């Protein structure tokens, strides 16, 4: 059960064979230093030309498609904010039926649904859950910039504790976001789908190999990608990759994959940097006091131990 046959002859992407072709053209309108578009570009490099993307409303949709221009070199569809998984379900089903009936004679394409954290963890969670449960063969990519950026930095259920956003502003009576980040990969994994992983553009080979695995496996796959957003996080545009790396090195955003229920941490952090190193790179956390930071450090440590536990626990069985 643990190893999927599709992964047996899996050829890893390395610095030597990294795909060079881009499927999102330069000239899109993402902000300077946007790591979300970088991550999406990496996903597309691996997916290649035989791919169809359904994109939820959000930054990536807006910046890549103002008519009459398009940054997409592959077929792409935007329908609405909350339904990209359902749209992808329809595309997959339609092509499957036509292929069976002899009206689609090419190799079946990769079908990828893309949504922000809002489109994934909040408004679109129902459609996502439905599509995962039904077992459509598609990859869902959540580009997690930890807020609704397209509408101007409002909090989402994926916004971390303490972050100041335009609807969770810090003030004399508030620390900012008062809830802890929703554990979306765990929710996806609870659907017992074959592949769930977290990724980060600061670790591009890891990210690309996860995309490749997700697309190789038959059935639904979920990839949760950390996506630094200098505009919304009030961080320096040129520091996107540095911030991304810090998120992993401080254990704030651990990298792992869950293949057929088995969790593996893909980047072990044995000598973590303190969380404060990460927090101070972003002005959304600038108001936090020492006690708040201590609390966040404890939260981060606890989450990481949970992963270690899950990793060990599943290995035993």
CB of 145 to ligand SF4, least distance (A): 5
- Segment interacting with ligand SF4, rule: CB under 6 A, options 31-39, 70-78, 119-127, 261-269: 31-39
Burial of 67 (0-12, 13-18, 19+ CB in 10 A): exposed
| Tokens standing for residue 70 | 């398009």
Provide CB contacts within 8 A for 164, sequence distance 6+: 170, 176, 177, 284, 285, 286, 287
Rounded distance, CA 206 to CA 256, Å?
10
Rounded distance, CA 174 to CA 31, Å?
29
CB of 120 to ligand TPP, least distance (A): 7
Does residue 124 bind ligand SF4 (CB under 6 A)? no
CB of 230 to ligand SF4, least distance (A): 5
CB of 193 to ligand TPP, least distance (A): 21
Per-residue contact string for residues 214-243; x = within reach of other proteins by CB under 8 A:
------------------------------
Contact between 272 and 250 (Cβ < 8 Å): yes
The residue from 51, 64, 110, 145 that contacts ligand TPP (CB under 6 A) is 145
Q: Which of residues 64-103 bind other proteins (CB under 8 A)?
A: 65-68, 70, 72-80, 82-83, 85-98, 100-101, 103
Pairing type for strands 195-199 and 256-259 reads antiparallel
The residue from 149, 193, 214, 307 that contacts ligand SF4 (CB under 6 A) is 149
Q: Residue 174 touches which of other proteins, ligand TPP, ligand SF4, none (CB < 5 to 8 A by kind)?
A: none
Rounded distance, CA 314 to CA 174, Å?
40
Does residue 43 bind ligand TPP (CB under 6 A)? no
- Segment interacting with other proteins, rule: CB under 8 A, options 130-138, 196-204, 291-299, 304-312: 130-138
Under DSSP, is residue 261 helix (H, G, I), strand (E, B) or coil?
coil
């Amino acid at each position: 059960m643990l190893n999927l046959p599709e992964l047996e002859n899996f050829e890893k992407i390395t610095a030597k064979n990294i795909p060079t072709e881009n499927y999102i053209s330069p000239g899109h309108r993402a902000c300077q230093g946007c790591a979300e578009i970088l991550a999406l570009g990496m996903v597309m490099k691996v997916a290649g030309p035989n791919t169809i993307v359904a994109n939820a409303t959000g930054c990536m949709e807006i910046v890549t498609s103002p008519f009459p221009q398009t940054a997409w070199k592959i077929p792409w569809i935007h329908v609405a904010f909350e339904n990209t998984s359902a749209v992808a379900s329809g595309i997959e089903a339609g092509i499957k039926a036509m292929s069976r009936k002899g009206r689609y004679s090419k190799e079946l394409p990769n079908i990828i649904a893309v949504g922000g954290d809002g489109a994934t963890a909040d408004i679109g969670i129902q459609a996502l859950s439905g599509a995962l449960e039904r077992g459509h063969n598609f990859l869902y990519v959540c580009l997690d910039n930890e807020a609704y950026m397209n509408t101007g930095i409002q909090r989402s259920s994926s916004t971390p504790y303490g972050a100041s956003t335009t609807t969770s502003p810090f003030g004399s009576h508030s620390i900012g976001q008062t809830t802890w980040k929703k554990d979306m990969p765990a929710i996806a994994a609870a659907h017992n789908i074959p592949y769930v992983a977290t990724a980060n553009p600061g670790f591009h080979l890891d990210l690309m190999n996860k995309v490749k695995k997700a697309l190789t496996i038959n059935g639904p796959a979920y990839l949760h990608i950390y996506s630094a957003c200098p505009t919304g996080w009030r961080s320096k545009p040129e520091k996107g990759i540095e911030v991304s790396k810090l998120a992993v090195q401080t254990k704030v955003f651990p990298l792992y994959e869950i293949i057929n229920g088995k969790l593996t941490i893909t980047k072990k952090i044995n000598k973590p940097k303190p969380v404060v190193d990460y927090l101070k790179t972003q002005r959304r956390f600038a108001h936090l006091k020492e006690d708040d930071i201590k609390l966040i450090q404890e939260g981060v440590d606890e989450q990481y131990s949970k992963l270690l536990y899950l990793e060990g626990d599943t290995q035993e069985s």
